[in-house]
Structure 1
Amino acid sequence: MQRDTGQIPDIRRPRFSLRLKLTIGVILIVLVSFSGLNVFNIYTHRKSLYAEAHKTRTNLARMVAAALFTQLADNELSSPRVKVFLDNFLSAAITQNKLDRDVAFGVVLDANNNVISGQAKPNLVIFPGGGSYPDAATALAEIAKLDGKLGNQMRTTRIPLTVRGRGTVGKLMIGISLQRINDEFMRDLWLNLSVFAAALILIIIYLVVTLGRVVIRPITQVMLAMRDVRKGNFNTKVELNSSDEIAVLADTYNFMVIGLREREELKDAFSRYVSTQVYDRLAAGDLTLTGETRNATVLFSDIRSFTALSERLTPADVVQMLNQYFNVMVEIVFKNDGFVNKFIGDALMAVYNVPIDQDEPEMRAVKTALEMIEALDEFNRARAEVGLFAVKIGIGINTGAVVAGNIGHQKRMEYTVIGDAVNLAQRIESQTKVTGMPILISESTYAAVADRVIAQALPPVKVKGKQEPVALYGVTALVGALQHRRPAMPIEIVLPPHAGVTQADVPPPSPSPGGTDRLPYTKEPGQ
């Protein structure tokens, strides 16, 4: 299975529409079927007429021959008696015959091909090349000359006249014209073709209308909706008032769009918590969010005296101030490839080495903390310019094993990390109030960055959930960073419409009793 490269393929433009293809296909099927059937029926009918004509001339020839043999028993073929008999008999059988209207001639020849007697219908006798003669005598002479071989438009039956004791004394030829049969064949053929053409036109009109309404229009709706999805519009929906396969296709498409919309919403939500690099790898399918144990570095940041401060602000001012603050701090987390795991009121929790492996996650977390303090100075300067109070924060960092994965209800999942290392990071953050140092890290974090940071070792403190005191280090800067400190980026503060709290209105932080932790995992009032 090929992996999606992320490139959007070009949508081809059809050279021939489905309507045209289906119409042409159906027309060809109908055309071939009906044409073949009609031609077969017409030719079969002509063949049966040919067979009937053959039977007619054969029977007529046998009847004349039988009557003639009676005369030849006592008379010569050239005798006047036989000639009179033949003239009368052939006249009745040929020229006066109203039933067998295609019989064209009957002639009796002697052994030297001389005409003894004969009757003909000159208008029916067609000679090779299409010629004819106006009178019967000339026609009969020419027939005798050609020995009855008159071409495709005529059929001739020959019966030799043999008398016992005298041998063959002559021959009888009965000819029948195929002109009427062929003319009727062509007339029927053109009539059938005309009827078929008219029926074909009606079928084409019906197919165009029906295919357009039943097939093409619904498929076009689905195609246009798919183009909207390609453009990023996941609110499109195809509604069809039918119960055929195309309606099933439309329903399947609607379910697909719902899934895509939910996935996009999930991706959009998740992209707000991770850096662009992490998000791109997640979107490419290189990462899994199932449960796993990872060695992570957890950073907790908290605004000082936020509960007391929020009591003096309107809810809108609180939200606006927090959004401005988090906009600055989260960008720093993303800059160092951190994962913003959650916001707990005014607190921010970021994780490193989760959900992807990272080099030096401890150093990334420490750099994030130092840059947050640096950005906070600029943030407060911008607030002071518009007469707003300064914000103070504390940051705690710890490194250890955590469990990472999607946790929650099947309808409401959250990717997060849990474990003792997470709890300890929050406990360490609470100690910033006691020590007065804005950045505190644990011993496990310090061991990974000791030679690259300027830090002060603090007396071990006892925290909730730990039997042994925890060693803490207060970080003030990176080694060599004081000489190469970059100027802070300017920050713009929007003055809230109800700004009425200034620096003088902010209550001072209330220190905790030395050495003990006041902050459990869930934030409490006054933190």
Structure 2
Amino acid sequence: MTTSHELPPGFSPAQRYGLLLVALAAVAPNLVGSAFNIAYNQIQIEPMLKPHQLDRFGACWRLFNLVIYPIGVLVLATPLLWVEPVHRALVAGRPVEPRSLLYAQRFAVNLPWWVLRIVSVCWLICIPVFGAALLLGDEPVDREVLWHLATSFVIAGMIAVTQCFFAVELASQRLLFPVYFQHDLPCDTPGAYPLSITGRGLMFGVSAVASPIIALVLLLVLPEASRQTPEFGLSVGAVAIAFGLTTAWMLGRLVALPVRRLKDAAVRVAEGDLDVRVDDLRADDFGPLIDRFNRMVEGLRERERLQETFGRHVGHEAARQILARGAGLGGTEMIVTVMFVDVRDFTAHSSRHDPDEVVSVLNIFFREAVETIESHGGMVNKFLGDGLMALFGVSGGSENHALAAVRAATAMQERLRSATRELEQAGWPGLRIGIGVNTGPAIVGSIGSPRRQEFTAIGDTVNIASRVETLTKPLARCLLITEATRLRLPADFPIEALPPQWVKGREEPIAVFAPTSDSPLAAGQCD
């Protein structure tokens, strides 16, 4: 119904001529119903009419087709003509005044009801018009003729009207909704009255069940006619059943299809695919359901994005712990192994290099350290400028978290040695680290204020681990562990005791241990 020959992107040719196709969807069921009605009249009614009555009957048909049908078509097409400029503008991508757009949206949702009213009146008015045409003649009319007349219009009308409603609704959803609801939802349209699922079931019952049964019952109450033309009775039943099956197919498109799409989308979400979206535009009960489903998936996608971003900043294990423990302050006392890692001579190196080079080196170091710690079941708790603090045993993934921490420390040294070439290119070929490990009780949880919190471990165990790490440089050792950690290692673990060391905050020296000099554990970039 538009005059433009260029189709803007996003709209199919069918949507471009959507109003015309919707109108044809309303006409098609009525043409079939009219063909059925004409066949019924020719076979059942006209043989029962006298010549003069037959002439009046034919004249009534001609007058009805010349007057009533054109009026019905005009009334049916009037709102289509009103909304056509809006349709043309939307398809062309031009802006539309909000009030006009709202009218078009309401029209698209309520169009099946408008068609239902007009078509029902046109079919029902046939009964008194044709009955009066025969009764007003000079010859008496057999009551059986009037019964057949009403039967023909009732059967054809019931089938045509319900078929017309579903056809227009289906066509409107496919052709008009994508044009009129580019930024809005049909289910949110004020003044719209879509058919509910319950009402749809009732109308389906009328078309697929009641219409065939009523058609056969009306024929059975005319035993004489049924005996004269039994084939016609079977034909009526077959036609009614065929229309019922057609209604069932359209109902499947209107009901079963969105259910299947929602089910498939839910399965994909359950499998972890959060890029799924159900794009059906529905004004009925499925509209809010589809909208809520899409919002739910968007919320899950946003939550996963935030958790992924959150995890990159605090660590994935820390993110899981925070989400599992809730947003409140406080913690739980646990036996954990704490690791502190520090880059040697970082201040001196920073003073001789540009900030970009310093950051590049740190990123290489942190990448290798984080991957190593997490692969051994640990959790990087925080970055400390040129070092980090890691916790083992927080997630409960490893019973012997002390051994996991020591093995992670050894693997970290090996990975840094493998990254020597990359470190050279970044400007620090001689990067060295020191690692201190301690095991003991600590309070693990969220501390801070209600507005700003941090997930960490607090306690003397943490303090000792930090102090032990500072001893690695004067003792010229890559890795130092405390006696509490040593007691959790296997008896044959290649490690040796060093002289007790004084550390800040302790009244007595503490026992420290390091890998034996001939052990592979002693190798690393710490010399």
Q: Which has the larger radius of gyration?
A: 1
Give the TM-score, by structure 1 length: 0.48
Give the TM-score, by structure 2 length: 0.48
Give the structure with the higher percent helix.
2
Give the structure with the higher percent strand.
1
